[in-house]
Amino acid sequence: MEGMKRKKQLNIAPPLELLFFIKTALISGDSVYEAIESYVIRPEACDFTKNIKEWFEKIKAGQETDSVLIKIKSIHRRILLEILEIGIKGQPVLEKLLEFEIKLSKAIDDDIDRQLKKMPLYSLFPLLFLQLPSLMIIGFMPFIGRLSSSIGGQF
């Protein structure tokens, strides 16, 4: 893993980034332990990276990792760390990682689709709060002008 330089990935889900990193390291002949050790020395990019560092410290100390896994809300992130923990214990995990990559990619795509379905609703808020009041004022101006002239005021 020493020769492998880590480039900053933009707009990629943190668990998918970790999975790609570990998968690349395993294919190049490194162990899961070495790959995670190389991954955690980078600057913390998000909360998941902090969780990984805390999780890895517990593994290095020989402690149970359940307390860290409970803090992680995403089931996909927990499953990824559980698979990696199996790999750290010496069992082969490349096939499991490849299977999980498909499931994770599908879950990410589903999340993106869910967010995209909400976009038309979100685009209505500017219309509702900015354009609608101005159109109402324009629409009521003739009525207000006639009302004002019938009362005798000048508008």
By CB atoms closer than 10 A (0-12, 13-18, 19+), residue 151 is: exposed
**SS3 state at 13:** coil
- CB 3 within 8 Å of CB 30: no
Which pLDDT belongs to residue 10?
58
* pLDDT interval class at 81 (50, 70, 90): very high
* pLDDT interval class at 142 (50, 70, 90): confident
Closest CA to 81 of 24, 44, 28, 39: 39
The pTM of the whole model exceeds 0.95: no
Higher pLDDT, 3 or 78: 78
Question: Which tens digit of pLDDT belongs to each residue from 12-51?
Answer: 888 888 999 999 999 999 999 999 999 988 877 688 888 8
Task: Say if residue 137's pLDDT is above 90.
Answer: no
Which pLDDT belongs to residue 2?
45
* pLDDT interval class at 154 (50, 70, 90): low
Task: Say if residue 109's pLDDT is above 70.
Answer: yes
Q: What share of the chain is helix, strand, coil (3-state, %, to 5)?
A: 75, 0, 25
- What is the mean predicted confidence (pLDDT) over 53-65? 91
Closest CA to 16 of 105, 91, 128: 105
